[in-house]
Structure 1
Amino acid sequence: MKKYNGYEAIENRLQYLPLSTTYTILDKISEIVNVEPVIGIMGKSGAGKSSLCNALFQGNISPVNDVSSCTREALRFKLNVSNRLLTLIDLPGVGESQERDWEYTLLYRRLLSEVDLILWVIKADDRALAVDEHFYRHVLGDAFQSKVLFVINQADKIEPCHEWNSSSNQPSPVQIANLDLKVHDITRLLQPINPICAISVKANWNLTEMVEVMVECLPEKSSSPLSAQLHNHLRTERVKETARNDFGSAVGGVLDAVASLPVVPRPVKSLIYQIRDAVVSIARSVWDIFF
Protein backbone atom coordinates (compact mmCIF):
# COMPACT_ATOMS: atom_id res chain seq x y z
CA MET A 1 0.00 0.00 0.00
CA LYS A 2 2.84 2.39 0.79
CA LYS A 3 4.38 1.93 -2.63
CA TYR A 4 0.98 2.49 -4.27
CA ASN A 5 0.69 5.80 -2.43
CA GLY A 6 4.12 6.78 -3.70
CA TYR A 7 3.11 6.08 -7.27
CA GLU A 8 -0.20 7.80 -6.69
CA ALA A 9 1.56 11.01 -5.64
CA ILE A 10 3.54 10.99 -8.88
CA GLU A 11 0.53 9.96 -10.97
CA ASN A 12 -1.48 12.91 -9.68
CA ARG A 13 1.08 15.27 -11.20
CA LEU A 14 0.85 13.41 -14.51
CA GLN A 15 -2.95 13.67 -14.71
CA TYR A 16 -3.01 15.97 -17.75
CA LEU A 17 -0.93 13.60 -19.85
CA PRO A 18 -2.53 10.91 -22.04
CA LEU A 19 -3.07 7.71 -20.08
CA SER A 20 -0.70 5.76 -22.30
CA THR A 21 2.09 8.25 -21.62
CA THR A 22 1.35 8.26 -17.89
CA TYR A 23 1.50 4.46 -17.73
CA THR A 24 4.75 4.42 -19.68
CA ILE A 25 6.31 6.87 -17.21
CA LEU A 26 5.03 4.98 -14.17
CA ASP A 27 6.25 1.66 -15.57
CA LYS A 28 9.74 3.07 -16.09
CA ILE A 29 9.76 4.56 -12.58
CA SER A 30 8.73 1.15 -11.26
CA GLU A 31 11.77 -0.33 -13.02
CA ILE A 32 14.00 2.13 -11.15
CA VAL A 33 12.34 1.36 -7.82
CA ASN A 34 12.90 -2.36 -8.36
CA VAL A 35 16.44 -2.24 -9.70
CA GLU A 36 18.60 -5.11 -8.43
CA PRO A 37 22.06 -3.65 -7.69
CA VAL A 38 25.10 -5.75 -8.57
CA ILE A 39 28.23 -5.34 -6.44
CA GLY A 40 31.54 -7.00 -7.26
CA ILE A 41 33.93 -7.97 -4.46
CA MET A 42 37.65 -8.30 -5.11
CA GLY A 43 40.78 -8.78 -3.05
CA LYS A 44 43.35 -11.31 -1.97
CA SER A 45 42.43 -14.19 0.28
CA GLY A 46 42.20 -13.08 3.91
CA ALA A 47 41.41 -9.45 3.12
CA GLY A 48 38.01 -9.76 4.80
CA LYS A 49 35.65 -9.67 1.82
CA SER A 50 32.96 -11.84 3.38
CA SER A 51 33.05 -10.09 6.73
CA LEU A 52 32.72 -6.73 4.96
CA CYS A 53 29.63 -7.88 3.07
CA ASN A 54 28.07 -9.20 6.28
CA ALA A 55 28.82 -5.91 8.03
CA LEU A 56 27.20 -3.86 5.26
CA PHE A 57 24.11 -5.72 4.19
CA GLN A 58 21.06 -7.20 5.87
CA GLY A 59 19.65 -10.60 5.08
CA ASN A 60 21.12 -14.01 4.44
CA ILE A 61 23.48 -14.55 1.55
CA SER A 62 22.40 -17.41 -0.71
CA PRO A 63 24.70 -18.83 -3.39
CA VAL A 64 23.29 -19.11 -6.91
CA ASN A 65 24.65 -20.65 -10.09
CA ASP A 66 28.29 -19.94 -10.79
CA VAL A 67 29.30 -18.01 -13.88
CA SER A 68 32.33 -19.62 -15.43
CA SER A 69 34.86 -18.68 -18.07
CA CYS A 70 37.42 -21.25 -19.13
CA THR A 71 38.59 -22.79 -15.85
CA ARG A 72 37.82 -19.85 -13.54
CA GLU A 73 34.58 -18.90 -11.85
CA ALA A 74 32.85 -15.85 -10.47
CA LEU A 75 30.68 -16.84 -7.53
CA ARG A 76 27.29 -15.12 -7.34
CA PHE A 77 25.28 -14.59 -4.17
CA LYS A 78 21.78 -13.16 -3.72
CA LEU A 79 20.59 -11.06 -0.81
CA ASN A 80 16.86 -10.75 -0.24
CA VAL A 81 15.54 -8.13 2.18
CA SER A 82 11.80 -7.40 2.18
CA ASN A 83 11.50 -8.76 -1.37
CA ARG A 84 14.36 -6.57 -2.56
CA LEU A 85 17.27 -8.32 -4.24
CA LEU A 86 20.96 -7.49 -4.38
CA THR A 87 23.58 -9.55 -6.19
CA LEU A 88 27.14 -9.93 -4.91
CA ILE A 89 29.76 -11.30 -7.29
CA ASP A 90 32.98 -12.63 -5.78
CA LEU A 91 35.42 -11.80 -8.56
CA PRO A 92 38.49 -14.06 -8.73
CA GLY A 93 42.02 -13.38 -9.83
CA VAL A 94 43.81 -11.04 -7.46
CA GLY A 95 46.87 -12.71 -5.98
CA GLU A 96 46.81 -15.64 -8.36
CA SER A 97 49.16 -16.55 -11.21
CA GLN A 98 49.61 -14.02 -14.00
CA GLU A 99 49.51 -16.96 -16.37
CA ARG A 100 45.72 -16.91 -15.95
CA ASP A 101 45.38 -13.23 -16.88
CA TRP A 102 43.90 -13.96 -20.29
CA GLU A 103 41.14 -16.04 -18.67
CA TYR A 104 40.32 -13.29 -16.20
CA THR A 105 40.32 -10.67 -18.94
CA LEU A 106 37.65 -12.62 -20.83
CA LEU A 107 35.67 -13.17 -17.65
CA TYR A 108 35.81 -9.53 -16.58
CA ARG A 109 34.85 -8.18 -19.98
CA ARG A 110 31.73 -10.31 -19.82
CA LEU A 111 30.79 -9.51 -16.22
CA LEU A 112 31.78 -5.94 -15.53
CA SER A 113 29.24 -4.34 -17.82
CA GLU A 114 26.54 -5.49 -15.39
CA VAL A 115 28.40 -4.56 -12.18
CA ASP A 116 27.43 -1.26 -10.57
CA LEU A 117 30.48 -1.03 -8.32
CA ILE A 118 33.51 -3.11 -7.31
CA LEU A 119 34.67 -3.13 -3.71
CA TRP A 120 38.37 -3.95 -3.94
CA VAL A 121 39.50 -4.94 -0.45
CA ILE A 122 43.17 -4.57 0.57
CA LYS A 123 44.60 -5.54 3.95
CA ALA A 124 46.01 -2.59 5.85
CA ASP A 125 49.23 -4.46 6.66
CA ASP A 126 49.74 -5.81 3.12
CA ARG A 127 52.87 -4.23 1.70
CA ALA A 128 52.93 -6.33 -1.49
CA LEU A 129 50.77 -4.33 -3.87
CA ALA A 130 52.48 -5.30 -7.12
CA VAL A 131 49.89 -7.99 -7.82
CA ASP A 132 47.02 -5.56 -7.18
CA GLU A 133 48.65 -3.01 -9.48
CA HIS A 134 49.16 -5.56 -12.26
CA PHE A 135 45.58 -6.81 -12.06
CA TYR A 136 44.13 -3.30 -11.85
CA ARG A 137 46.05 -2.01 -14.86
CA HIS A 138 46.30 -5.01 -17.16
CA VAL A 139 43.29 -7.19 -16.40
CA LEU A 140 40.66 -4.70 -15.28
CA GLY A 141 41.81 -2.04 -17.72
CA ASP A 142 40.82 1.59 -18.21
CA ALA A 143 37.24 0.77 -19.20
CA PHE A 144 36.21 -0.42 -15.74
CA GLN A 145 38.49 1.44 -13.32
CA SER A 146 35.79 4.04 -12.68
CA LYS A 147 33.74 1.27 -11.06
CA VAL A 148 36.38 0.46 -8.43
CA LEU A 149 36.24 1.60 -4.81
CA PHE A 150 39.39 0.58 -2.94
CA VAL A 151 38.76 -0.36 0.69
CA ILE A 152 41.66 -0.74 3.12
CA ASN A 153 40.38 -3.23 5.68
CA GLN A 154 41.78 -4.41 9.02
CA ALA A 155 42.95 -0.94 9.95
CA ASP A 156 43.36 -2.24 13.50
CA LYS A 157 46.38 -4.22 12.24
CA ILE A 158 48.27 -1.20 10.97
CA GLU A 159 51.47 -0.60 12.91
CA PRO A 160 51.84 0.01 15.77
CA CYS A 161 48.89 -2.37 16.18
CA HIS A 162 49.28 -2.51 19.97
CA GLU A 163 48.24 1.17 20.10
CA TRP A 164 44.73 0.48 18.82
CA ASN A 165 42.27 1.57 21.50
CA SER A 166 40.03 -1.47 21.88
CA SER A 167 37.69 0.22 24.34
CA SER A 168 36.84 3.10 22.00
CA ASN A 169 37.55 1.19 18.77
CA GLN A 170 39.78 3.98 17.56
CA PRO A 171 43.26 4.04 16.03
CA SER A 172 46.04 5.96 17.71
CA PRO A 173 47.37 9.16 16.12
CA VAL A 174 50.39 7.21 14.86
CA GLN A 175 48.15 4.57 13.30
CA ILE A 176 46.06 7.25 11.63
CA ALA A 177 49.24 8.74 10.20
CA ASN A 178 50.29 5.33 8.88
CA LEU A 179 46.84 4.74 7.39
CA ASP A 180 47.15 8.10 5.63
CA LEU A 181 50.50 6.95 4.25
CA LYS A 182 48.87 3.72 3.06
CA VAL A 183 46.16 5.68 1.26
CA HIS A 184 48.84 7.93 -0.25
CA ASP A 185 50.88 4.94 -1.47
CA ILE A 186 47.87 3.29 -3.12
CA THR A 187 46.83 6.60 -4.67
CA ARG A 188 50.32 7.15 -6.09
CA LEU A 189 50.63 3.57 -7.34
CA LEU A 190 47.16 2.99 -8.80
CA GLN A 191 45.78 6.51 -9.34
CA PRO A 192 42.20 5.43 -8.61
CA ILE A 193 39.28 7.50 -9.81
CA ASN A 194 37.22 7.13 -6.62
CA PRO A 195 38.32 7.94 -3.04
CA ILE A 196 40.07 5.28 -0.96
CA CYS A 197 38.39 4.24 2.27
CA ALA A 198 40.18 2.87 5.35
CA ILE A 199 38.08 0.75 7.71
CA SER A 200 38.14 -1.99 10.28
CA VAL A 201 35.20 -4.37 10.04
CA LYS A 202 36.30 -6.17 13.19
CA ALA A 203 36.36 -2.96 15.22
CA ASN A 204 33.39 -1.44 13.37
CA TRP A 205 35.54 1.60 12.62
CA ASN A 206 34.82 4.06 9.80
CA LEU A 207 32.16 1.87 8.19
CA THR A 208 29.56 4.64 8.03
CA GLU A 209 31.99 6.94 6.24
CA MET A 210 32.87 4.18 3.79
CA VAL A 211 29.20 3.49 3.06
CA GLU A 212 28.57 7.17 2.39
CA VAL A 213 31.37 7.18 -0.20
CA MET A 214 30.16 3.87 -1.67
CA VAL A 215 26.62 5.17 -2.22
CA GLU A 216 27.97 8.32 -3.87
CA CYS A 217 30.00 6.16 -6.28
CA LEU A 218 26.98 4.15 -7.43
CA PRO A 219 24.95 4.88 -10.57
CA GLU A 220 21.86 6.99 -9.92
CA LYS A 221 19.52 4.07 -10.52
CA SER A 222 21.27 1.82 -7.99
CA SER A 223 21.93 3.99 -4.94
CA SER A 224 18.38 3.87 -3.55
CA PRO A 225 17.80 0.11 -3.99
CA LEU A 226 21.19 -0.58 -2.42
CA SER A 227 20.56 1.78 0.48
CA ALA A 228 17.48 -0.28 1.31
CA GLN A 229 19.73 -3.33 1.76
CA LEU A 230 22.07 -1.69 4.27
CA HIS A 231 21.96 -2.27 7.99
CA ASN A 232 19.85 0.49 9.52
CA HIS A 233 22.72 2.10 11.44
CA LEU A 234 24.57 2.60 8.14
CA ARG A 235 21.69 4.50 6.53
CA THR A 236 23.00 7.90 7.60
CA GLU A 237 21.41 11.18 6.60
CA ARG A 238 24.14 11.63 4.00
CA VAL A 239 23.38 8.20 2.53
CA LYS A 240 19.66 8.91 2.39
CA GLU A 241 20.15 12.37 0.91
CA THR A 242 22.44 11.01 -1.81
CA ALA A 243 20.00 8.24 -2.66
CA ARG A 244 17.02 10.60 -2.57
CA ASN A 245 18.66 13.05 -4.97
CA ASP A 246 19.77 10.21 -7.26
CA PHE A 247 16.20 8.88 -7.36
CA GLY A 248 14.91 12.32 -8.31
CA SER A 249 17.52 12.60 -11.06
CA ALA A 250 16.66 9.12 -12.34
CA VAL A 251 12.96 10.01 -12.44
CA GLY A 252 13.87 13.17 -14.34
CA GLY A 253 15.77 10.98 -16.79
CA VAL A 254 12.64 8.87 -17.28
CA LEU A 255 10.60 11.92 -18.24
CA ASP A 256 13.35 13.08 -20.62
CA ALA A 257 13.48 9.64 -22.23
CA VAL A 258 9.70 9.43 -22.69
CA ALA A 259 9.54 12.96 -24.08
CA SER A 260 12.17 12.03 -26.66
CA LEU A 261 10.15 9.08 -28.02
CA PRO A 262 9.13 9.65 -31.66
CA VAL A 263 5.58 8.46 -30.96
CA VAL A 264 4.96 11.18 -28.38
CA PRO A 265 3.16 14.16 -29.98
CA ARG A 266 4.82 17.56 -29.75
CA PRO A 267 2.18 19.08 -27.40
CA VAL A 268 2.64 16.14 -25.01
CA LYS A 269 6.42 16.54 -25.15
CA SER A 270 6.00 20.20 -24.23
CA LEU A 271 3.72 19.32 -21.30
CA ILE A 272 6.18 16.71 -20.01
CA TYR A 273 8.95 19.30 -19.96
CA GLN A 274 6.66 21.78 -18.18
CA ILE A 275 5.91 19.38 -15.32
CA ARG A 276 9.34 17.72 -15.19
CA ASP A 277 10.79 19.65 -12.25
CA ALA A 278 7.57 19.26 -10.23
CA VAL A 279 7.56 15.49 -10.78
CA VAL A 280 11.22 15.26 -9.75
CA SER A 281 10.43 17.21 -6.58
CA ILE A 282 7.53 14.89 -5.77
CA ALA A 283 9.71 11.82 -6.40
CA ARG A 284 12.22 13.09 -3.87
CA SER A 285 9.50 13.85 -1.35
CA VAL A 286 8.10 10.29 -1.50
CA TRP A 287 11.51 8.59 -1.55
CA ASP A 288 11.02 7.27 1.99
CA ILE A 289 7.81 5.55 0.91
CA PHE A 290 9.56 3.66 -1.87
CA PHE A 291 12.79 2.85 -0.02
Structure 2
Amino acid sequence: MSAEEAGKLRRAWESELARKPPTIGVVGVSGVGKSSTINTMFRTGLPISHTAACTKEFTEVPLRVAPSSGPGAGDQVRLVVVDASGLGEDVRRDPHYLEMYERHLPECDVVLWVTAARNRAVALEQQYLRRCPAGDAQARWAVRALAAAPCGTGQRMRKRRTP
Protein backbone atom coordinates (compact mmCIF):
# COMPACT_ATOMS: atom_id res chain seq x y z
CA MET A 1 0.00 0.00 0.00
CA SER A 2 1.37 3.38 -0.93
CA ALA A 3 1.73 6.21 1.58
CA GLU A 4 -1.06 8.08 -0.21
CA GLU A 5 -3.39 5.06 0.04
CA ALA A 6 -2.49 4.55 3.69
CA GLY A 7 -3.25 8.22 4.42
CA LYS A 8 -6.58 7.95 2.63
CA LEU A 9 -7.46 4.80 4.57
CA ARG A 10 -6.52 6.44 7.87
CA ARG A 11 -8.68 9.50 7.13
CA ALA A 12 -11.64 7.25 6.25
CA TRP A 13 -11.10 5.30 9.50
CA GLU A 14 -10.93 8.51 11.56
CA SER A 15 -14.07 9.83 9.86
CA GLU A 16 -15.98 6.63 10.64
CA LEU A 17 -14.83 6.70 14.29
CA ALA A 18 -15.93 10.33 14.59
CA ARG A 19 -19.34 9.47 13.11
CA LYS A 20 -19.91 6.35 15.22
CA PRO A 21 -17.42 5.64 17.98
CA PRO A 22 -16.97 2.05 19.19
CA THR A 23 -19.72 1.20 21.67
CA ILE A 24 -19.51 -1.28 24.55
CA GLY A 25 -22.73 -2.40 26.25
CA VAL A 26 -22.34 -3.50 29.88
CA VAL A 27 -25.27 -5.70 30.88
CA GLY A 28 -26.34 -8.29 33.46
CA VAL A 29 -28.69 -8.94 36.34
CA SER A 30 -29.40 -6.38 39.01
CA GLY A 31 -26.74 -5.81 41.66
CA VAL A 32 -23.77 -7.57 40.06
CA GLY A 33 -21.71 -4.39 39.71
CA LYS A 34 -22.18 -3.17 36.15
CA SER A 35 -21.78 0.51 37.08
CA SER A 36 -18.93 -0.31 39.48
CA THR A 37 -17.17 -2.24 36.72
CA ILE A 38 -17.46 0.76 34.37
CA ASN A 39 -16.23 3.09 37.15
CA THR A 40 -13.22 0.85 37.75
CA MET A 41 -12.33 0.26 34.10
CA PHE A 42 -12.76 3.84 32.88
CA ARG A 43 -12.47 5.99 36.04
CA THR A 44 -15.99 7.32 35.70
CA GLY A 45 -18.28 8.39 38.50
CA LEU A 46 -21.51 6.55 37.82
CA PRO A 47 -23.78 6.31 40.88
CA ILE A 48 -23.74 2.96 42.69
CA SER A 49 -25.60 1.48 45.63
CA HIS A 50 -25.20 -1.76 47.51
CA THR A 51 -28.88 -1.78 48.51
CA ALA A 52 -30.97 -0.18 45.73
CA ALA A 53 -30.87 -0.23 41.94
CA CYS A 54 -29.42 2.99 40.51
CA THR A 55 -29.52 2.51 36.74
CA LYS A 56 -33.15 2.66 35.61
CA GLU A 57 -32.46 3.54 31.96
CA PHE A 58 -29.64 2.74 29.57
CA THR A 59 -26.99 5.38 30.21
CA GLU A 60 -24.44 6.30 27.55
CA VAL A 61 -21.06 7.31 28.93
CA PRO A 62 -19.00 9.14 26.28
CA LEU A 63 -15.27 8.71 26.81
CA ARG A 64 -11.97 9.68 25.23
CA VAL A 65 -9.23 7.08 25.43
CA ALA A 66 -5.67 7.00 24.16
CA PRO A 67 -4.52 3.57 22.93
CA SER A 68 -1.02 2.74 24.15
CA SER A 69 -0.13 0.57 21.15
CA GLY A 70 -1.18 -0.14 17.58
CA PRO A 71 -1.84 2.25 14.70
CA GLY A 72 -3.69 4.78 16.87
CA ALA A 73 -1.18 4.79 19.74
CA GLY A 74 -1.22 8.12 21.54
CA ASP A 75 -4.22 9.49 19.62
CA GLN A 76 -7.38 10.44 21.49
CA VAL A 77 -10.22 8.14 20.38
CA ARG A 78 -13.89 8.45 21.23
CA LEU A 79 -15.53 5.47 22.91
CA VAL A 80 -19.05 5.02 24.27
CA VAL A 81 -19.84 2.70 27.16
CA VAL A 82 -23.50 1.93 27.76
CA ASP A 83 -24.52 1.12 31.34
CA ALA A 84 -27.64 -1.04 31.28
CA SER A 85 -30.42 -1.47 33.80
CA GLY A 86 -30.13 -4.71 35.76
CA LEU A 87 -32.44 -7.55 34.87
CA GLY A 88 -34.26 -9.57 37.51
CA GLU A 89 -34.74 -6.67 39.90
CA ASP A 90 -38.53 -6.90 39.71
CA VAL A 91 -40.87 -9.04 37.58
CA ARG A 92 -42.97 -5.95 36.86
CA ARG A 93 -39.98 -4.03 35.46
CA ASP A 94 -38.38 -6.87 33.50
CA PRO A 95 -40.58 -6.51 30.38
CA HIS A 96 -39.60 -2.83 30.11
CA TYR A 97 -35.93 -3.60 30.76
CA LEU A 98 -35.91 -6.44 28.21
CA GLU A 99 -37.44 -4.07 25.65
CA MET A 100 -34.61 -1.60 26.35
CA TYR A 101 -32.08 -4.43 25.86
CA GLU A 102 -33.72 -5.32 22.52
CA ARG A 103 -33.62 -1.68 21.42
CA HIS A 104 -30.09 -0.75 22.56
CA LEU A 105 -27.90 -3.87 22.32
CA PRO A 106 -27.95 -4.13 18.51
CA GLU A 107 -26.27 -0.69 18.45
CA CYS A 108 -23.32 -1.98 20.49
CA ASP A 109 -20.12 -3.29 18.95
CA VAL A 110 -19.27 -5.40 22.00
CA VAL A 111 -21.54 -6.58 24.81
CA LEU A 112 -20.05 -7.50 28.19
CA TRP A 113 -22.30 -9.59 30.41
CA VAL A 114 -21.19 -8.94 33.99
CA THR A 115 -21.83 -11.68 36.51
CA ALA A 116 -20.91 -12.01 40.16
CA ALA A 117 -18.03 -14.36 40.90
CA ARG A 118 -19.68 -15.32 44.17
CA ASN A 119 -22.68 -16.83 42.36
CA ARG A 120 -22.43 -20.29 40.79
CA ALA A 121 -26.12 -20.42 39.92
CA VAL A 122 -26.26 -19.04 36.38
CA ALA A 123 -29.54 -20.52 35.08
CA LEU A 124 -31.36 -17.18 35.39
CA GLU A 125 -28.57 -15.43 33.50
CA GLN A 126 -28.63 -18.11 30.81
CA GLN A 127 -32.37 -17.53 30.35
CA TYR A 128 -31.81 -13.78 29.95
CA LEU A 129 -28.92 -14.34 27.54
CA ARG A 130 -31.20 -16.38 25.27
CA ARG A 131 -33.67 -13.48 25.17
CA CYS A 132 -31.19 -10.64 24.65
CA PRO A 133 -30.36 -9.83 21.05
CA ALA A 134 -26.85 -8.59 20.47
CA GLY A 135 -27.24 -7.85 16.76
CA ASP A 136 -23.79 -7.98 15.21
CA ALA A 137 -22.09 -7.29 18.54
CA GLN A 138 -19.59 -9.70 19.90
CA ALA A 139 -20.98 -10.97 23.20
CA ARG A 140 -18.37 -11.58 25.87
CA TRP A 141 -18.49 -12.68 29.50
CA ALA A 142 -16.93 -10.56 32.18
CA VAL A 143 -16.68 -11.89 35.70
CA ARG A 144 -16.45 -9.34 38.45
CA ALA A 145 -14.28 -11.02 41.06
CA LEU A 146 -15.07 -10.12 44.62
CA ALA A 147 -12.49 -10.26 47.36
CA ALA A 148 -14.66 -10.39 50.44
CA ALA A 149 -13.32 -10.99 53.90
CA PRO A 150 -15.33 -13.34 56.13
CA CYS A 151 -18.17 -11.42 57.79
CA GLY A 152 -16.88 -8.25 56.15
CA THR A 153 -14.42 -7.66 58.99
CA GLY A 154 -11.20 -7.79 57.04
CA GLN A 155 -9.84 -10.12 59.70
CA ARG A 156 -9.19 -13.82 59.53
CA MET A 157 -11.73 -16.11 61.06
CA ARG A 158 -10.48 -18.08 64.05
CA LYS A 159 -11.33 -21.68 64.62
CA ARG A 160 -13.53 -22.24 67.60
CA ARG A 161 -12.60 -24.94 69.99
CA THR A 162 -15.24 -27.56 70.31
CA PRO A 163 -15.87 -28.97 73.82
TM-score by length of 2: 0.59
Deviation of 1:107 (Å): 1.8
SS in 2 for 1:79: strand
Deviation per CA, 1:157-187: give whole Å up to 9, x if none: 5xxx77xxxxxxxxxxxxxxxxxxxxxxxxx
State which of 3, 8, 12 in structure 2 corresponds to 1:28: 12
Structure 1 CA distance for aligned equivalents of residues 145 and 44 of structure 2? 23
Deviation per CA, 1:105-150: give whole Å up to 9, x if none: 4322321121111221111112443331221112x04x54963211
Deviation of 1:40 (Å): 1.1
Aligned to 2:97: 104
Deviation of 1:92 (Å): 1.4
Unaligned runs of 5+ in 1: 1-9, 16-21, 64-71, 163-291
State which of 151, 156, 165 in structure 1 corresponds to 2:147: 156
Aligned to 2:159: none
Deviation of 1:153 (Å): 1.6
1:119 aligns with 2:99: no
Aligned to 2:130: 137
Whether the aligned pair in 2 keeps the contact of 1:60 and 1:80 (CA below 8 Å) is no
Deviation per CA, 1:197-221: give whole Å up to 9, x if none: xxxxxxxxxxxxxxxxxxxxxxxxx
Aligned length: 133
Structure 1 CA distance for aligned equivalents of residues 116 and 46 of structure 2? 26
Point out the structure with the larger helix share: 1
Structure 1 CA distance for aligned equivalents of residues 62 and 123 of structure 2? 32
Deviation of 1:32 (Å): 4.7
Aligned to 1:197: none
Percent identical:
29
Structure 1 CA distance for aligned equivalents of residues 11 and 91 of structure 2? 46
1:75 aligns with 2:59: yes
Deviation per CA, 1:11-53: give whole Å up to 9, x if none: 73439xxxxxx85x45413225645221111233442323322
Structure 1 CA distance for aligned equivalents of residues 147 and 139 of structure 2? 23
Structure 2 CA distance for aligned equivalents of residues 95 and 45 of structure 1? 6
- After superposition, residues 80-91 of structure 1 pair within 5 angstroms as 80-81=64-65, 83-91=76-84
Write the letter of the residue equivalent to 1:129: V
Structure 2 CA distance for aligned equivalents of residues 55 and 81 of structure 1? 14
Aligned to 2:40: 55
Aligned to 1:94: 87
Compare CA radii of gyration and give the structure with the larger one. Answer: 1
Judging changes above 3 Å, is the alpha-carbon distance between structure 1 residues 26 and 152 closer, same or farther for their aligned structure 2 residues? Answer: closer
TM-score by length of 1: 0.37
Unaligned runs of 5+ in 2: 48-55, 67-75, 151-163
Whether the aligned pair in 2 keeps the contact of 1:95 and 1:132 (CA below 8 Å) is no
Write the letter of the residue equivalent to 2:141: F
Whether the aligned pair in 1 keeps the contact of 2:25 and 2:110 (CA below 8 Å) is yes
Judging changes above 3 Å, is the alpha-carbon distance between structure 1 residues 144 and 13 closer, same or farther for their aligned structure 2 residues? Answer: closer
Deviation of 1:84 (Å): 3.0
Deviation of 1:154 (Å): 2.1
Whether the aligned pair in 2 keeps the contact of 1:120 and 1:149 (CA below 8 Å) is yes
- After superposition, residues 1-291 of structure 1 pair within 5 angstroms as 12-14=3-5, 25=9, 27-32=11-16, 34=18, 36-57=21-42, 60=44, 73-81=57-65, 83-138=76-131, 140-141=132-133, 144=135, 147-157=138-148
Deviation of 1:103 (Å): 2.3
Whether the aligned pair in 1 keeps the contact of 2:30 and 2:89 (CA below 8 Å) is no
Write the letter of the residue equivalent to 1:108: Y
Judging changes above 3 Å, is the alpha-carbon distance between structure 1 residues 145 and 30 closer, same or farther for their aligned structure 2 residues? Answer: closer
